[in-house]
Structure 1
Amino acid sequence: MDRRFQPGDAITLRELWRGRVFEARPMIVVQDDPDQTTLFLPGGVRCGVPVGEDGSSLRLPDRPWRLEVRPRGDQPILSFAWPDTPYSVLLWTAEDRRRVWYVNLEDPVERTPIGFDTVDHALDVVIQLDRSSWRWKDEEELAEAVRDGLFSEAEAVDFYVWGERAIDRVLAGEPPFDRDWEDWRPDPGWPVPELGDGWDADPGE
């Protein structure tokens, strides 16, 4: 699918697991060019999240789940993704309320009629906004996913390789990290995004 979205379009970014929707977030397109896609996730929007049979939230697709629509936290997120690149980089607010670069290891995003699909790889990286330090995040979660057979050990090694490449990209100040994004603000005329029609339909349905 080659259709490009326009700035201000509301789309749905979905995380899949083995052909099923595991999570869905309504977002706004900031940029959708052949070499980069930039998306904005406002705070407080209603997302599709996975819950177990008892209604508890799930971190990993390690047991049966269903989807519920729930409001997310109030912190906005700006995300950058690139073709054939198995990670995205987010401008994120950490638990201490400081802004950080957050590398999310994942399958390269694929276009759909309502937005984009990907598969999360569990492993993440947190990089200080001034690039003074960085750390791996959710290593235990990835190790658990490997033990549970969700990923192979070889895949986990590959995730670390791509994480290091993402770290190098940010630390080197390669575009778009060659400018200050901390003061970026969304267009006030953009809509509050909602989950697109059919957001919970598994691919192929």
Structure 2
Amino acid sequence: MNRLAHSINITEDVPGRILHWNFFIGGHLSASVPVRLVERTDEGQLVWMETGAPMWRTELPGGAHLRDIAPDDRPAAGYPVVPGRWPMGSALFYQPTGAAHSVLWLFGRRGKFRGWYVNLERRVHHGDDIDIADHELDINVAPDRSWQWKDEESFAEKTGHPVYWSVDEAAAIRAEGTRVARLAEAGTFPFDGSWCDFRPPRTWTTPPRPPVPRRPIL
């Protein structure tokens, strides 16, 4: 199961260490969720996000999603954040060093592996915080490694807006996704079948809600 092998810092790389996954859309916070470190190496790190984990989420009018609200229509200081719980399923995140994407192993009920999800993003690590600037365009990869783009239309609509990405940056984002999709087609890591049976240790209790989030360092 273990694909990553060469740990680089014993004191900071203890499995189970709690980190904070902070997700931003157009410079505004969408969610801040605690995750546990599984493994960190020169190649990248693996973190575990548990369904139902206590989190902070942005409170939006009328139940809207932040990505659907034009930046010019948002308050300058952002929307208020309120406590909540992570509503999606549990996932194992692979965050390659220096890459503009994460790969998620998605797990359903009783830990059944449901497939992979490629999140295209800009990521900055500082202390226990992992700040994610979402790039909107993503990829769904089925267990048989067939794949398809996700959110192509909204990605195109955001291209050229100053809080998102330029035309040239959009081309680089799509190229990053294409490169990862080729890994899926070839069945190479992280799509080689490793970690699909991952289960967090029984000693890992639900982590506490993170500190109140602040503006990203991105």
TM-score range, shorter chain: 0.7 to 0.9
- State the alpha-carbon separation in 1 of the partners of residues 114 and 91 from structure 2: 10
Instruction: Select 1:146's aligned residue among 145, 159, 167.
Output: 159
**How big is the shift at 1:28?**
0.8
- State the alpha-carbon separation in 2 of the partners of residues 176 and 142 from structure 1: 25
**How big is the shift at 1:146?**
2.4
* Structure 1 residue 182 corresponds to structure 2 residue 196: yes
* Structure 1 residue 130 corresponds to structure 2 residue 137: no
Secondary structure in structure 2 of the residue aligned to 1:119:
strand
The answer as to whether partners of 2:131 and 2:216 remain within 8 angstroms in 1 is: no
Normalised TM-score (structure 1): 0.83
Secondary structure in structure 1 of the residue aligned to 2:159:
helix
Match of 1:100 in 2: 115
* Structure 1 residue 170 corresponds to structure 2 residue 184: yes
* 1:118-168 deviation line (CA, Å, top 9, x unaligned): 21101100011121x210001122123226553222222221100001111
Unaligned runs of 5+ in 2: 1-8
Range with greater deviation from structure 2 (144-153 or 184-193): 144-153
- Superposed CA RMSD in Å reads 2.6
Range with greater deviation from structure 2 (121-130 or 172-181): 172-181
Secondary structure in structure 1 of the residue aligned to 2:63:
coil
Q: Which amino acid aligns with 2:89?
A: Q
The answer as to whether partners of 2:105 and 2:113 remain within 8 angstroms in 1 is: no
Range with greater deviation from structure 2 (120-129 or 171-180): 171-180
**How big is the shift at 1:24?**
1.1
Instruction: Select 1:11's aligned residue among 11, 19, 38.
Output: 19
Match of 1:56 in 2: 63
- State the alpha-carbon separation in 2 of the partners of residues 194 and 18 from structure 1: 27
Q: 1:74 to 1:151 in 2, by over 3 A?
A: closer
Normalised TM-score (structure 2): 0.79
The answer as to whether partners of 1:11 and 1:28 remain within 8 angstroms in 2 is: yes
Match of 2:125 in 1: 111
Match of 2:3 in 1: none
